[in-house]
Amino acid sequence: MIDNLLTEKENPASANIDRLSTEEMLKVINAEDGKVAGMVAAEIPRIGEAVDTIVKAMGLGGRLFYVGAGTSGRLGVLDASECPPTYNVAPDLVQGIIAGGEAALSRSTEASEDDAGSGARDVVAHGFTSADVLCGIAASGRTPYVLGAVAKARSMGAVTIGVSCVPESELSRAVDIAITPVTGPEVITGSTRMKAGTATKLVLNMLTTGVMIRLGMTYGNLMVNVQPKNGKLEARARRIISRATGCGGEEAARLLSASGRSVRTAIVMGRLRVDREEAERQLAAAGNVVARALGEN
C-alpha cells in the first residue's frame, strides 16, 4: 500500500511549516536537504557496481537507458540529454524514456505511470537490446510503468539497475543492482520531487559522470572530449589545453588549431612534443585515454 511507504509518511520536522516565518520555513527545507548527501553516500558501493557494469556494457557496444515516470522520468531524460553536450558522446549512448513521452516533460501525464505494459512497449520501441543496461527510476519503488520496463529488459537478458528511495521496494527486488538512498518523509508529505528527487539527481550525476571518467572522457578533472563549437566552448577548450600542458593562451590556441580542433590530440601534442599524426597514433594505441597515451596510467 502506498500509504505505508516511507516517502509518504509525515515529517515531524516540518509539521508546523505553514506557521513559520519565511526564513524559518526555508531553514527547515534546507536542513532536510542537507541530509540527502549522506543518504546517497551510503549507496556508493552499489553506485560503483552500477558504473562498472555500464562501462563494461558500453565497451561491448551497449547503451544506458533510463526509464521513469513523472519527476523520476524527467530527471532521467535530463541526465541523458546532458551527456552529448558535456562529453560529446553519441546522442543514443545514454537515453531517457519517460511515461507519456515527450509531452510529459513539460505537462503532467501522471496517469500513464500506472500502465506496466506501456513501459515494456516503450523500451522495445526505443530499440533496447540485451546488450544494453536499463536503469529504472521510481522514488516509491513501485511504479508499474517502470516495473513493466524492468521486467521486459530482464526477459531479454539485459542487466537492470533500480534507483528508488524506499527500502525493500518492488523495484529493488526486481533488478540486478538496487540503489536505494533512504531519504525518509518529505518536508511536504509525499512531495518526492524534493528530497527523493534531489537524491535521485545526485545518483544519476554519479552514474554518468563515473561512466564518462572510466571511458576516458576526462584527463584528471578536465573534460578533454569537449568540442569547440561556439565561443564559450572554444575558450573552454583553450583553457583545458593550457592547464593540461602548462602552456600559455596563444600556444593553446595554436595547438588546438594544429590538432584539428581535438582537445585530446592537442594535449598529447603539447605534452609529448610530437606532431598531430604521432599524437593521434599514441591516442589510438591508448584507447583514446589521454593519461594512458602520456604513460601516466
d(C-alpha 89, C-alpha 128), whole Å:
18
Q: How many CB atoms lie within 10 A of CB 38?
A: 9
Report the catalytic residues. Answer: 82, 113
Q: Are 122 and 67 in contact (CB under 8 A)?
A: yes
Going by their DSSP bridges, the two strands 218-219 and 159-163 should be labelled as unpaired
